[in-house]
Copies of this chain bind each other. A is one copy, B any other.
Amino acid sequence: MDASGFVIDSKLAETSYPLVSLSVCDVRLVDDTRWPWLILIPRVNHAVELIDLPPDIRVQVWQEIDHVSRVLRDNLSPDKLNTAALGNQVRQLHIHVIGRYTDDPAWPMPVWGAGDAIPYDSDALASRLHTLRAALG
């Protein structure tokens, strides 16, 4: 729980590392080296669908998706961005922004359900967190 009483879903928390808190969303790095995979979690308790967010929050979420997408592309040069709000397995609203490469192990299929995650080792994790935190501001 943060100071506002917001709690991140335990499955999201256990499979990702915190990067930054933007105005509305917490941004986290999913622990899978096969592709750079960020998630944005709007700090709105009980939010499930984008369309149920208050309008001003929803516009801010879109802007933060934009920002995170640009940072990911500018720093990690993927061949394609994949952006998605699914929520079939974890109901708490979260938006995936994933950098895809034409030689990554799931291309051209989506990443969900594509084999097992390959976790970061401590050096690679520290490096990636450092780069992304600096760029995400």
Q: A68-81 toward B: CB 8 Å interface, digit per residue (1/0)? A: 01100100000011
A82 touches B73 (CB 8 A): no
- Contact partner of A107 (CB less than 8 A), chosen from B48, B80, B88, B112, is B88
Cα-based distance from A49 to B72 in the complex (angstroms): 13
Contacts of A80 in B (CB 8 A): 48-49, 86-88
| Residue from B66, B70, B109, B112 in contact with A88 in the complex, judged by beta carbons closer than 8 Å | B109
Given contacts A88-B109, A110-B86, are A66 and B58 in contact (CB under 8 A)?
yes
Interface residues of A (CB under 8 A from B): 48-51, 58-59, 62, 65-66, 69-70, 73, 80-89, 100, 107-110, 112-113
